[in-house]
Structure 1
Amino acid sequence: MTHELTTRDLTNDTWDDFVSALGSNGGARGCWCMHWRLSIAEWMEGKGEGNKRAMKNLSRRKPAPGVVVYDGATPVAWCSLGPRSAFARLDRSPLLKRVDDEQVCSVACVFVARGYRRTGLLPSILDAVCDYAAAHGYPAVEGYPVDPPDGRRAGSDTAMTGIASAFREAGFTEVARPRKDRPIMRRAVS
């Protein structure tokens, strides 16, 4: 099933929709999508309300820290994205380290709202995110999904980066596989 999804920058105007998509826990364990933006100590210290305030502050800046994805007027997902340099912890990760010097729009988190999970919506969300990245001048989008072995399901803590099969369905190709279950995938958008 194809969905005509739209994206809107996370700003004060879309803040309530962001909160709706992430739920009362702010995604997994009070993250509020700050996992890749902070050191682990900073993230743990801010867990919950501190991380929520930090994201609220980012939502007031340009460029936006990500987009809320809508199906009509309904927020169905959140995607944390931007230049790889916006994600300090991602850039320091030995597992997901930079594979080359290509300027990419990193998709650090794709969080699908509770009522829309396991519906096959993720490839359409990724298409909408790629359209957004192309409109903002990025040559490529890079993702860091999990690829659970033997058809197993990923847990909410690991699925935050997306699922490899959905990335493949959305036209991404693997550019590296630093670990058996963690490909780095890209899609050219310009």
Structure 2
Amino acid sequence: MSFRLSKADFDEGKSNDGNKDAMKQLVWDNQPIGLIGFYKDLPIAWSAFAPREKFIKLQKSRVHKPIDSKQVWSIPCTFIAKDFRRQGVSVALLKGVIGYAKENGIKIIEAYPTIPTQESIPDAFAWIGLFKSFERAGFKIVDQTSKSRPMVRYYID
């Protein structure tokens, strides 16, 4: 929910279940929120995924301003359970997002992953996704106003 809410609203929602309630309401309203990856019956991966305009933080971003007026769906964050990292789950999750997009007539997927500047990075910097995973899934850099945070896109024919 951090990309969908202002910082003040998100911070307030952490202390009173407001963020959980807001997510539940999106589900009940049948709004696109993202995809969950499962291993057997265990949820191990998550990708937020919705039209860019649904994410308030992207609307206010100085680093990732829209590069054109095309309708894009954004992936502002991903999560892989610790025991499943470095096993290709991120790429599989992104390919799942691409498959969903193809099935639903979405033409452009956009994301804002991290290019690590050192061998190991704290989890707090990896939750937006790592560039190598997006690259392996077929995303290409379309803008790079920040050395470590490119804008990438996947175009669907």
Answer yes or no: same fold by TM over 0.5. yes
Counterparts of residues 86-165 of structure 1 (less than 5 Å): 86-150=54-118, 152-165=119-132
- Kindly indicate whether residue 149 of structure 2 is the aligned counterpart of residue 177 of structure 1: no
**Bigger mean CA offset, 113-122 vs 88-97:** 113-122
Selected match of 2:12 from 13, 32, 45: 45
Matched residue, 2:154? 187
The Cα of 1:72 is off from its aligned counterpart by 4.1
The Cα of 1:63 is off from its aligned counterpart by 2.6
Q: Which amino acid aligns with 1:163?
A: L
The 4+ residue runs of structure 1 with deviation greater than 4 A are none
Matched residue, 1:54? 22
Q: Distance in 2 between matches of 1:104 and 1:72?
A: 31
Deviations 1:60-101 (A, max 9, x none): 122331121223433221111110011011111111111111
Decide whether the 8 Å contact of 1:69 with 1:75 is kept in 2: yes
The Cα of 1:129 is off from its aligned counterpart by 0.8
> What is the aligned residue count?
156
TM-score normalised to structure 1 length: 0.77
Q: Distance in 2 between matches of 1:62 and 1:164?
A: 30
Matched residue, 1:77? 45
Q: Distance in 1 between matches of 2:34 and 2:72?
A: 14
Q: Distance in 2 between matches of 1:103 and 1:78?
A: 23
TM-score normalised to structure 2 length: 0.92
Decide whether the 8 Å contact of 1:108 with 1:161 is kept in 2: yes
Q: Distance in 2 between matches of 1:63 and 1:179?
A: 31
Q: Matched residue of 1:59: which SS?
A: helix
The Cα of 1:136 is off from its aligned counterpart by 1.4
Where in structure 2 are there 5+ consecutive unaligned residues?
none
The Cα of 1:56 is off from its aligned counterpart by 1.5
